[in-house]
Amino acid sequence: MTTTKKFWLYAFAILGASVMLFTSCEKNENDKPDSGAVKDIDGNEYKTVKIGNQVWFAENLKTTKYNNGTPIPNITDNTEWAELSTGAYAWYNNDEATYKNAYGALYNWFAVETGNLCPTGWRVPTDAEWSTLINYIDPNADGGNNWPNTAGGKMKSTRTTPDAHPRWESPNTGATDEYGFSALPGGFRYYYDGTFDNVGYNGYWWSSTEYHATHAWYRDVNYDDGNVGRDNDDKRNGISVRCLRDN
């Protein structure tokens, strides 16, 4: 074989390998951990994940201050919580030591409404942005309106009892966490009497989109099915928050 022919054979082989490598990288680039940790104003660090064209926190928010440095009131009294019309947060069962690092804080929607809850450069996602995420994971889910769907299972952490907190109660149906969103069941705080419920069983996350004067949209995932749901509820409820990076 002549030197010229050998050169072109090597050149085509290298070109082919380069194309295969590029194609492989292109296929996976939309679903991978994002580089670098993000800190809130308290200094808490968060893992992030890229899903489609969006970059999300892979953990629930746990800041005790707005991003302008203003403290968020931590309301422990049940009656006071039920009467709020301004931003506040709580730790599940008012037990910071057990629940802060595991599940983050529970915020009412008035805290979301300020626009200063997430770190600078990040925001609480709109209802439409939640739908974008969910429809990327399961195009048949219609943002959480269609049941059954598989998006909830694909979003859920696979940590399950008897694992220590943070974890889902068994059976943690459908959980694969294949996109790295690592949804965990932080439970909620009732708006009408300030009591807590459902940690380990249900995860709820606010959107920044108002439904009407007293209600706002949220998403929820459960321990005993693989669905993600879309609904609205009273703004005084305390539920979890995930942050989305600004475009």
- Please name the helix (run of DSSP H) or strand (run of DSSP E) that holds residue 133, with its range, or none: helix 127-137
Answer whether the bond into residue 166 is a cis peptide, omega within 30°.
Answer: yes
Tens-level pLDDT at each residue, the chain (247 residues) = 444 444 333 443 433 433 333 333 333 444 555 546 899 999 999 999 999 999 999 999 999 999 999 999 999 999 999 999 999 999 999 999 999 999 999 999 999 999 999 999 999 999 999 999 999 999 999 999 999 999 999 999 999 999 999 999 999 999 999 999 999 999 999 999 999 999 999 999 999 999 999 999 999 999 999 999 999 999 999 999 999 999 8
Extract the tokens encoding 39: 């800190």
Tokens representing 100 are 């802060």
Residue pair 186/204 in contact (Cβ under 8 Å)? The answer is yes
Query: Are 203 and 186 within 8 A, CB to CB?
Result: yes
